[in-house]
Structure 1
Amino acid sequence: MFYVVFFCWFSEYLRDLINAKVFVARFCLHEVKLQLHIIVEPSRSLVTGSKTLITKQDYFGEKVALYFLWLGWYTFLLIPPALIGVLVFLYGLSFFNTSPLVKEVCESNRVMCPLCDEGCKVWKLSETCSYAKVCQDVCSTMFLEMWKRHRATYISYWKMLDWSELEEELILEVVNDAESKPRKSEHSYGFSTLVLICVTLMVRNLHVHFWLILSKENQSFAARERNFTVKMFTFQFFTYFSSLFYVAFFLGRINGHPGKYVRIAELWRLEECHPSGCLTDLFIQMTIIMVLKQTISNMIEITVPWLHKFMKKRKSSQKLRRKCGNCYKKDESELKEGEELCDNCKLNDWQKNYQLTDVDSFSLFNEFLEMVIQFSFTTIFVAAFPLAPLFALINNVIEIRLDAIKMVTLERRMFPKKTNDIGIWTDILEVIGVLAVIVNGLIIGVSSDFIPRLLYRFYYGPCANGTATDTDCIAGYINNTLSTALLSDSRVKFDPNQLVTPDHLNATSCSYKDYRDSDFNFTPQFWLILSVRFAFVILFEHVLVICKFIAAWFIPPAPIVVKNEHLDQKHERLLEQLK
């Protein structure tokens, strides 16, 4: 208790001295043994990088240890979906030259309508042959429930099951001021309604303004931290995912048809999908995000602290060189045999730690934010990009090692903080899990060609009457999905230069992807497909949500052994108190 009182008093007093520029900084010193252990023995990366910080949670505190525990568990559980994703991708590649749909596209002579107003001409469907080959159609709940069990095991080992964040904050307040009173919780239904309206209307500037108002409410540090986490994750989520949602569900679906294209300000046509389909655009974007973005992020994450350390070390070296003259060497390892470094030129541990990058409460937040955003990419659009778990797995294996090196050798030591959970991030992961069910259901049922192909196979195709034996049931599907516009129709207006085919002939008609008749009205097939799409989405989501809740109920949040040990500990404590 004396240490807590002294630290709280000295911490407040030291903050005033730092503000007055009497001191430059305050930070915990790294243990040299652990630093050397990580640098000298890189082959034991998982042991030194993650397990050391998990089993010896008192080095950085339970908050950082739980981050490595969660990241390691998440990485381990990525192995099964990564293997499944690779098999799905390889299965799609196996249809490069044998799929009847690919053959139909590659051998087609149909002339397609221009995709834009200026610079676009009619084009042959066979031009998308190579893309058609690539674009063959290719659990978060179990992860969360298993993570809760995994966390409970270590929390019991650390004896943190009964720890309360609110209780610890109250203790520190009482220690600092014996007459202090706890902050009362406040809630305004009018304010909450106003924020809800702003979010609904997507008025971003007003939304930000009201969230600043929110930070002025009288709340505990834990509550303010949770609100900040939700707010920042929401902004980051919309920043990263808005374009993906647009490509998946809006691109090419509200463009109209020849003779009546939807235009912005009656001037510019809306963008259309890639000739091979909208999922190709989504696949390309996900590839860039999961490969290029993650690689660049890891490079920046390790390079910036290293450059910061290098520049500070170089600056200190110049000062020592001026002070010590010839007796100074850049590194003690460069000293010759029998040569010693001057005592006043040796860097103390606190000086070496001062050269490291400063850390704050946002350092761990940024690590969690990066991984939860990646978890969102991996789960929400896995139906469109089955290789996402594989790239996430490769990235995380590297991430664990880089984070351990960065935290122990390139950054100042974080002040240890107690906790028994990853906090609000668990609730965010729950929301992502529900959203992943909804989005993947919409991608399969609405964005992909799964439903139209299924209906064509059993209702419109050559096998519909049950008499075809030697014909592939999906043959003719591509032509069935295309509608024709006669260029002689007065409603269809294209520039004459746009109607020249690649064979230098003038086209008399062009095709476009839709289910419309010659008068541009939707056909009965369109309405049937639309109704089946929504029926599938509703059924798919209800089944998976039910399975989600069954899994959450079936798997207890903590192993029975941990519960019994916790009960025994409480029993022993009560007996000691009664004595």
Structure 2
Amino acid sequence: MFFKRAEENIELWDRPKDGYSMEPLLPSMPIHKSFDYVLVAHKLENDADLKAQRQKAFINQLEKKNIRVHRIEHEEKVFFGLRAPPEIFEDYQYLLKVSDSCNWCGDVKGAVTQATRIRIVHYIIKNTFINTGENLDELLVKGVFETKFCLHQRDKQKQLKKKWARWSALFTGQPSNDVRRYFGEKVALYYLWLGWYTKLLVPAAVLGVVVFLYGLAFFQTSPLIKEVCESNITMCPRCDKRCDVWQLSDTCTYTKVSQLFDNEGTVAFAMFMAIWATLFLELWKRHRAIYVSKWKVYDWCEEEEELIMDIVNDKFCKPKQFRHSYFRSALVLALVTLMLMIIIGLAHALVVFRVVAAPLLSEGKWDFISENANTVAVMLGAVLHYVTMQIMTRVNRWVSLKLCEIEKTNSFAATERSFTVKMFTFQFFTLFSSLFYVAFFLGRINGHPGNYVRIAGYRLEECHPSGCLTDLFIQMAVIMLLKQTLNNIFEFTVPWLKSLCSKNAAKKLQRKCGYCYRKTCRDDQGRIEPCDICKLRDWLRNYHLANTDAFSLFNEFLEMVVQFSFATIFVAAFPLAPLLALINNIFEIRLDAIKMVRLERRLVPRKTNDIGIWTKVLEAIGVLAVIANGLVIGVTSDFIPRLVYRYRYGPCATGITDTHCMQGYINDTLAVANSSHFLPKQMMTEYGFNVTQCSYRDYRNNDFSLTSQFWLVLAVRFAFVILFEHVVVVCKFIAAWFVPNNPIRVKNARLHDKLARLKDELRERQRSKSTEV
């Protein structure tokens, strides 16, 4: 007969591999329950050592709060197992019951779960100070303790492994209730949100593929592709020195790729994605309401929860006063602005790299690279952008933490919100500064023959004759594929390697622990408990897992919200972005589950009823997506110039009906320059012929003055952007109004809960009156 762990968290022990029995000698004795938390420190031989004194002082402070501390030495480490007395949790439940907003929370009635125990113990040890005023975080920094972690529950862990944290469950649903009971509401809501986001990506991905196939269907019959591939137009040199004139037909492949993503279907798809972002958020609010109502945390209040925790930790505590300093706020604002300027400066450095790389690559020895120098420069720029992102992510985190220290917020939740806003802002500018340049500035400020704009002596890049949207597509595709693929590889590999160490360390104690099962181990009160070797094996198993902290879940949220930005903001340039996001998320859910359950230390369960500040961030991204997609279609793509040509300058507009309406469009977008603006050798073709004129992309006359067509196209571009954004914003408001945040069943359930609570209170009052009589 094996020890088993019930809902009250009695510890489960593995069956020993050597076949020893685990039958207790005194089955009537109460089984000792597991520890809530473990501290680890280096063994100190000299008790007079300053670290040893601080270590002892901290343990004494915990014991004064009736925290049971069990010490086990192993090699050069000392493990301290912590378990809180039941009185602490009784106080917590009572305070919840009498609080203003949480008197019907899930923790008020029933047994205290292990997740709740860990959350309360974690708060207590984080807010325990020794006589020098240092808390655990400061002692960890100074090396008094090495690390801290809460323990995985072996039975619950195995259940989650079986039904959730395995690759064979890739397309199965998520056990949200089990995840919530084990990891707390915060982690459960993350997976609930991620699952909902992934589910709603399906229609977006399908429509994105349809738009891509639409471009593919007219791939061979497009007159624009035919005009480029069969043209004999000589184009002006791309750089000043060693670049020669080239033939427009050389870019036939580039033009074909452009037509796949820059067509009429992208306009409808961009409008759909802007509305989709709103519907996704509104439907998520409804989905969330169903679960938080079921979990009895709908009325949970973060501020009251922290006050209750303060009282549980110290009955003589004082409230943390709200503070605000205009000086600190101004300082933080100035530093944030400075940081954003540095990030934008890095984006400018990437632009310089692209400008310099293109002419240098064109002078290379390899024909393939020299012939496609611009495309290779764009791809190298995207790869360098990815490397810059990885470096700046660490810098952004450090700066965000320092700014939060300057602000001196009054609670951990407020600090977390402030950090999230700053970190996401920095990451957003790091990721999207280069994309905004490609989308809205590339090829529009480069000048014209005889008056080119230069950086570091090199001419700025020019748009391809078939449009600039392909450059944006290449940039997004490289970044999304690299970011998602490499991040997932690193996220899984590092914890997996650590888990191997955990298994090897546990195997060393396997034989000893098997022998221990044949003996009776009791605590000071005579209760049966596993021996120290068995405890140590479990603690070592958790110790060797990958570390987790307050940022572990934040990192997952940040990764997914950044992906949401890629899938919505520039989706007009990359209709396949939702498909890539969908494929990634299908694996991401399972990868994160395997990491959290199998490869990482247990996250400290956190209580909440929403995804917090991330909701506001997603709403801001939805608004930005409307603006960005309107500008991409109106300014970046060739949709408007083609529209103007078709109905104002094309064959159909002039009454010619025996040809395609877009015939001659490419030639119409090109201006002509003479040889006087370039070196004589640059005007020699690859066949050895000198040319006196070359073409470049712009609406200009022979004297380089802008044509009337340029101003007409510009006016239509701005009119389209204004019309697009107003129409989509109105549709977003209608969608938000049409979909209520709370389902009717949730409202009715909460009504019944409140009525039942009031009746219970009335019955208790009548019972107390009858007792007095």
Q: TM-score, normalised by structure 1?
A: 0.89
C-alpha contact 1:93 1:134 (8 A) present in aligned 2: no
Q: Helix, strand or coil for the counterpart of 1:468? A: coil
Give a deviation string over 1:305-337, Cα, whole Å, max 9, x none: 1112224544666x669x98xx9xxxxxxxxxx
User: Which deviates more, 543-552 or 203-212?
Assistant: 203-212
Please give the alpha-carbon distance, in whole angstroms, between the structure 2 residues aligned to 1:474 and 1:2: 81
Q: Helix, strand or coil for the counterpart of 1:27? A: strand
C-alpha contact 2:445 2:453 (8 A) present in aligned 1: yes
Please give the alpha-carbon distance, in whole angstroms, between the structure 2 residues aligned to 1:43 and 1:148: 29
Of 213, 232, 238, the match for 1:109: 232
Greater Rg by CA: 2
C-alpha contact 1:75 1:397 (8 A) present in aligned 2: yes
Please give the alpha-carbon distance, in whole angstroms, between the structure 2 residues aligned to 1:245 and 1:511: 27
C-alpha contact 1:184 1:218 (8 A) present in aligned 2: no
Task: Name stretches of at least 5 consecutive residues in structure 1 with no aligned partner.
Answer: 328-342
Change (3 A) 1:396 1:214: closer
C-alpha contact 2:502 2:542 (8 A) present in aligned 1: no
Change (3 A) 1:562 1:176: same
1:3-22 mapped onto 2 (5 Å cutoff): 3-4=88-89, 7=121, 9=124, 12=127, 16=136, 19=140
C-alpha contact 2:234 2:245 (8 A) present in aligned 1: yes
Cα offset for 1:37?
4.2
Of 271, 285, 292, the match for 1:155: 292
The structure with higher relative contact order (CA 8 Å, sep 6+) is: 1
RMSD after superposition = 2.9
Change (3 A) 1:243 1:153: same
| 1:98 lines up with 2:287 in the alignment | no
Change (3 A) 1:214 1:290: closer
One-letter amino acid of the structure 1 residue matched with residue 242 of structure 2: G
1:457-476 mapped onto 2 (5 Å cutoff): 457-465=646-654, 467-476=655-664
Please give the alpha-carbon distance, in whole angstroms, between the structure 1 residues aligned to 2:237 and 2:171: 59
User: Which residue matches 2:45?
Assistant: none
C-alpha contact 2:568 2:625 (8 A) present in aligned 1: yes
User: Which residue matches 1:336?
Assistant: none
User: Which deviates more, 402-411 or 132-141?
Assistant: 132-141
One-letter amino acid of the structure 2 residue matched with residue 279 of structure 1: L
| 1:577 lines up with 2:761 in the alignment | yes
One-letter amino acid of the structure 2 residue matched with residue 526 of structure 1: F
User: Which deviates more, 304-313 or 375-384?
Assistant: 304-313
Change (3 A) 1:9 1:533: closer
Q: Helix, strand or coil for the counterpart of 2:214? A: helix
C-alpha contact 2:223 2:662 (8 A) present in aligned 1: yes
User: Which deviates more, 456-465 or 498-507?
Assistant: 498-507
1:126-275 mapped onto 2 (5 Å cutoff): 126-136=249-259, 137-138=262-263, 139-188=276-325, 192=329, 202-204=340-342, 212=402, 214-216=404-406, 217-264=408-455, 267-274=457-464
Of 479, 498, 507, the match for 1:289: 479
User: Which residue matches 1:301?
Assistant: 491
Give a deviation string over 1:518-564, Cα, whole Å, max 9, x none: 00000011011111101110111111112112211221111011012
| 1:407 lines up with 2:599 in the alignment | no
One-letter amino acid of the structure 2 residue matched with residue 148 of structure 1: K
C-alpha contact 1:93 1:133 (8 A) present in aligned 2: no
Cα offset for 1:281?
1.3
Of 555, 560, 563, the match for 1:366: 555
Give a deviation string over 1:452-474, Cα, whole Å, max 9, x none: 10011011111113x32221111
Please give the alpha-carbon distance, in whole angstroms, between the structure 2 residues aligned to 1:396 and 1:78: 9
Of 461, 479, 486, the match for 2:674: 486
User: Which deviates more, 105-114 or 497-506?
Assistant: 497-506
C-alpha contact 2:179 2:187 (8 A) present in aligned 1: no
User: Which deviates more, 61-70 or 269-278?
Assistant: 269-278
User: Which residue matches 1:519?
Assistant: 703
Please give the alpha-carbon distance, in whole angstroms, between the structure 2 residues aligned to 1:388 and 1:218: 38
Please give the alpha-carbon distance, in whole angstroms, between the structure 1 residues aligned to 2:572 and 2:596: 35
One-letter amino acid of the structure 2 residue matched with residue 470 of structure 1: D
One-letter amino acid of the structure 1 residue matched with residue 666 of structure 2: I
Please give the alpha-carbon distance, in whole angstroms, between the structure 2 residues aligned to 1:397 and 1:384: 24
Cα offset for 1:271?
2.4
Please give the alpha-carbon distance, in whole angstroms, between the structure 1 residues aligned to 2:337 and 2:207: 38
Of 442, 447, 450, the match for 2:631: 442
1:52-131 mapped onto 2 (5 Å cutoff): 52-131=175-254
One-letter amino acid of the structure 2 residue matched with residue 555 of structure 1: V
Cα offset for 1:268?
2.1
User: Which residue matches 1:353?
Assistant: 542
Please give the alpha-carbon distance, in whole angstroms, between the structure 2 residues aligned to 1:182 and 1:346: 38
User: Which residue matches 1:331?
Assistant: none
Please give the alpha-carbon distance, in whole angstroms, between the structure 2 residues aligned to 1:143 and 1:194: 37
C-alpha contact 1:183 1:218 (8 A) present in aligned 2: no
Aligned residues: 554
User: Which residue matches 2:615?
Assistant: 426
Change (3 A) 1:553 1:179: same
Please give the alpha-carbon distance, in whole angstroms, between the structure 2 residues aligned to 1:397 and 1:553: 31
Of 142, 146, 153, the match for 1:31: 153
Please give the alpha-carbon distance, in whole angstroms, between the structure 1 residues aligned to 2:597 and 2:171: 14
Change (3 A) 1:518 1:197: farther
Please give the alpha-carbon distance, in whole angstroms, between the structure 2 residues aligned to 1:56 and 1:316: 26
One-letter amino acid of the structure 1 residue matched with residue 489 of structure 2: M
Cα offset for 1:358?
1.4
One-letter amino acid of the structure 1 residue matched with residue 446 of structure 2: N
One-letter amino acid of the structure 2 residue matched with residue 434 of structure 1: V
One-letter amino acid of the structure 2 residue matched with residue 277 of structure 1: G
One-letter amino acid of the structure 2 residue matched with residue 57 of structure 1: R
Q: Helix, strand or coil for the counterpart of 2:224? A: helix
Change (3 A) 1:213 1:230: closer
Q: Helix, strand or coil for the counterpart of 2:183? A: coil
One-letter amino acid of the structure 1 residue matched with residue 288 of structure 2: R
User: Which deviates more, 254-263 or 287-296?
Assistant: 287-296
One-letter amino acid of the structure 2 residue matched with residue 3 of structure 1: I
One-letter amino acid of the structure 2 residue matched with residue 375 of structure 1: F
Q: Helix, strand or coil for the counterpart of 2:182? A: coil
C-alpha contact 2:160 2:178 (8 A) present in aligned 1: no
C-alpha contact 2:465 2:697 (8 A) present in aligned 1: no
Please give the alpha-carbon distance, in whole angstroms, between the structure 1 residues aligned to 2:414 and 2:287: 25
User: Which residue matches 1:510?
Assistant: 694
Give a deviation string over 1:343-363, Cα, whole Å, max 9, x none: 969973222122211111100
One-letter amino acid of the structure 2 residue matched with residue 570 of structure 1: K
User: Which deviates more, 543-552 or 71-80?
Assistant: 543-552
Change (3 A) 1:210 1:191: farther
Cα offset for 1:29?
2.0
Please give the alpha-carbon distance, in whole angstroms, between the structure 1 residues aligned to 2:700 and 2:211: 33
Task: Name stretches of at least 5 consecutive residues in structure 2 with no aligned partner.
Answer: 1-85, 92-119, 130-134, 264-275, 345-395, 516-531, 766-773
Cα offset for 1:289?
2.1
Please give the alpha-carbon distance, in whole angstroms, between the structure 2 residues aligned to 1:218 and 1:97: 61
